[in-house]
Amino acid sequence: MSTNLPAPGRIRTGGLNPDQLFHLGSAVAGSFALTWMLFERILPVTSPLGFAVSWYALFLTMYAVISATTLDRVGVVDRVVGALVATAGAVLVAVLAGIVVFITIRGKGALAHTNFYTDTLALVGPDDGLTKGGIYSAMIGTFEQVALAILISVPVGIATAVYLNEVGGRLARTVRTVVHAMSAIPTIVAGLFIYAMFIIGFDLPHWLPLLGDRVSLPRSGFAASLALSVSMIPVVITTAEVVLRLVPNGLREASLALGTSRWQTVKGVVLPTARPGLITAVLLGIARVIGETSPVLLVAGYTNALNYDPFHGPQVSLPLFVFNLARQPFDVAIARAFGAAVVLLVLVVIFFATARILGGRAPGQVSARKQRRLSARLARRQLVEGNLL
């Protein structure tokens, strides 16, 4: 082929074609003009919402009519459906963006003060401004309660997922069904359950002398983390099971064919291969429970004071802080609630994004860092022990 010829221009097959773009543009412009006429010149009312709705309805009509100049009925329907569907997608994004922007704008005032992060509300009166008080105790509460919930639910959740995927059988099928049902329990019911069982307490039968004769917990951070665990366990199980299922069966067979036991295969091959996915599962579980309000509402108690001890006395957490302050009739309290809501949202986004980044890798895919670590470990061992010989 001659090198003098210019490279042939590629034909673009996707996207909007010029014809469609022209129709779309005319419909948008035409409907806007007409709506403006209606609202500003003819109708006696002015309403931004009414304007938007009328504009959209007129736009759809015009788009259909203009499209009909070049397309048949089927083609027009196709275009109108395309516009409707794209609108739905835009609405979804707009709701999310609207929430984030609204919360951030309202929370800005509180977030600007450093005392908001380092102080508590213990000594703050209703007249004190945003320069006093903050969410420190709530952050401590959230941190401790979520950490305890992780300690409870991650071992149970991952062990159960291993049982479902690596052992299986009839019991596993029952457990899977029950776990699905459990993930659908309203979170307030999870809180109510902990309340009914532990806060109210229950008597132990006499043949269990070691634990005392009655089990009961005060309203506390630990009770809250128990309630959070009830919501978190099914999330961890379900996601971890999906992750374990992605570990290629060939790896299990290869390991077993080398003469290893099932436990050795799970410990040495399955879990290390699934590690990034399992971390994702845990992070998604955290992102889910960190903002849960209703389960902790009944069992954590509420206090403005700083309480480091999750086992004794009421302990506030971020969602509870937001919820309580939002209901107070003071602007300062509401501003603090918005500030705390932003912090909560940021925490959720951090856990969510980390989970996404880690979860983007296929199971067993080795990161560059891990590659370097593998090489370095081998080199070190050979160096150290090679010299001894």
Partner 1 sequence: MTDTLTTPLPPLPTSAGTPATLSARNVGAWFGDHQVLEGVDLEMKAGQVTALIGPSGCGKSTFLRILNRMHELVPGASLSGEVLIDGDDIYAPTMPPIESRRRIGMVFQKANPFPTMSIHDNVLSGLKLAGKGFGKGRAAEAGDLVEHSLRSAGLWDEVRNRLGAPGGSLSGGQQQRLCIARALAVSPDVLLMDEPCSALDPTSTRRVEETIAAIAHEVTVVIVTHNMQQAQRVSDRCAFFLAAENQPGHIVEQGSTADIFENPRDERTSDYVNGRFG
Partner 2 sequence: MSALLEHAPPPPPRSDERREIHPVPPRSDRIFVGAVRTASVSTLVVMGLIGLFLLLRAMPALKVAKWHFLTEHQWLPEVNKFGVASLLWGTILIALIALAVAVPVAFGAALFISEYAPRSLKKLLITLTDLMAAVPAVVYAMWGFFWLQGHLLEVSKFLSDTFGPVLPFLRVDNPDTLSSYSSSAFIAGVAVSAVVLPTITSVMREVFSQAPVSEREGAIALGATKWGMIRTVVLPFGRGGIIGGIMLGLGRALGETIVVFLIISPMFDFTTHPLQSGTNSIAPHIALRSTESSGTALSGLLACGLVLFLFTLLINTAAGFVISRSRSGAATEI
Instruction: Specify the residue, 17 or 371, whose C-beta has the smaller distance to partner 1.
Output: 371
Token pair of 148 as six digits:
């305890």
Among 24, 27, 103, 110, binds partner 2 (CB under 8 A): 103
Among 135, 150, 270, 341, binds partner 2 (CB under 8 A): 341
H-state helical runs in the chain: 18-36, 48-67, 73-111, 115-118, 136-162, 170-183, 187-194, 221-245, 249-257, 262-265, 271-289, 294-297, 318-326, 331-359, 368-388
Among 29, 37, 43, 84, binds partner 2 (CB under 8 A): 84
Per partner kind, with CB cut-offs from 5 to 8 A, the member of partner 1, partner 2, none near residue 251 is partner 1
Measured distance CA(171)–CA(279) in Å, rounded: 26
Among the listed residues 271, 350, 300, the one whose alpha carbon sits nearest the alpha carbon of residue 148: 300
Q: Does 172 bind partner 1 (CB under 8 A)?
A: no
Among 20, 61, 104, 260, binds partner 1 (CB under 8 A): 260
Measured distance CA(79)–CA(85) in Å, rounded: 10
Among 165, 273, 293, 317, binds partner 1 (CB under 8 A): 273
Per partner kind, with CB cut-offs from 5 to 8 A, the member of partner 1, partner 2, none near residue 127 is none
Q: Which stretch binds partner 2 (CB under 8 A): 28-36, 122-130, 205-213, 288-296?
A: 288-296
Binding mask 157-186 for partner 2 (x = CB under 8 A): --xx-xxx-xx---xx-xx-xxxxxx-xxx
Among 242, 306, 350, 358, binds partner 2 (CB under 8 A): 242
Q: Does 204 bind partner 2 (CB under 8 A)?
A: no
Q: Does 136 bind partner 2 (CB under 8 A)?
A: no
Among the listed residues 247, 235, 241, the one whose alpha carbon sits nearest the alpha carbon of residue 284: 235
CB of 15 to partner 2, least distance (A): 8
Among the listed residues 290, 296, 181, 197, the one whose alpha carbon sits nearest the alpha carbon of residue 237: 181
Instruction: Specify the residue, 16 or 33, whose C-beta has the smaller distance to partner 2.
Output: 16
Measured distance CA(266)–CA(255) in Å, rounded: 9
Token pair of 155 as six digits:
């071992």
Measured distance CA(76)–CA(81) in Å, rounded: 9
